[in-house]
């Protein structure tokens, strides 16, 4: 029981240190700029520097709500970005960010804490996407 508590506390501390690393940017924007903007572009419209060399069209992330009758598809978006649930984005060329985020945190907070950190990073990223929706 004590080991799980220590792991939980370590995960919380790791998540809060991630926010500190982001400086003045909110964590979701930090994650987006470091993991998504190369394909989706800084503004999210699908015009990142790598988009032109991909074999699939990079979607405009600013119109996800408009394309879903004005309702942001939060859970679907989370699952596509996570990639570990069998829901894959862009015809499966999109990285599996859930695995990446979990692996990056495992050495710092252990396997149980790493999952919590990964989910926190994914949720922050999706919240940022909510904030850039164009209506």
Task: Quickly count: other Cβ atoms within 10 Å of residue 8's Cβ.
Answer: 15
Number of H helices and E strands in the chain, helices first, is 5, 0
The position carrying tokens 């069998």 is 86
Domain ranges of the chain: 2-131
pLDDT digits (tens, 9 = 90+) for 60-115: 999 999 999 999 999 999 999 998 887 655 455 788 899 999 999 998 898 889 99
pLDDT digits (tens, 9 = 90+) for 18-67: 544 444 457 899 999 999 999 999 999 999 999 999 888 899 999 999 99
Report pLDDT for 91: 54
pTM, to two decimals: 0.78
């Amino acid at each position: 029981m004590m080991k799980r508590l220590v792991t939980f506390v370590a995960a919380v501390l790791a998540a809060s240190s991630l926010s500190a690393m982001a400086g003045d940017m909110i964590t979701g924007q930090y994650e987006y700029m470091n993991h998504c903007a190369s394909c989706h572009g800084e503004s999210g419209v699908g015009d990142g520097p790598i988009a032109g060399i991909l074999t699939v069209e990079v979607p405009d992330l600013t119109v996800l709500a408009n394309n879903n009758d004005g309702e942001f598809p939060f859970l679907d978006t989370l699952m596509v970005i996570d990639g570990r649930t069998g829901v894959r984005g862009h015809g499966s060329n999109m990285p599996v960010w859930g695995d990446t985020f979990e692996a990056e945190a495992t050495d710092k907070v252990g396997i149980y804490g790493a999952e919590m950190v990964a989910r926190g990073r994914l949720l922050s990223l999706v919240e940022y996407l909510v904030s850039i929706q164009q209506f």
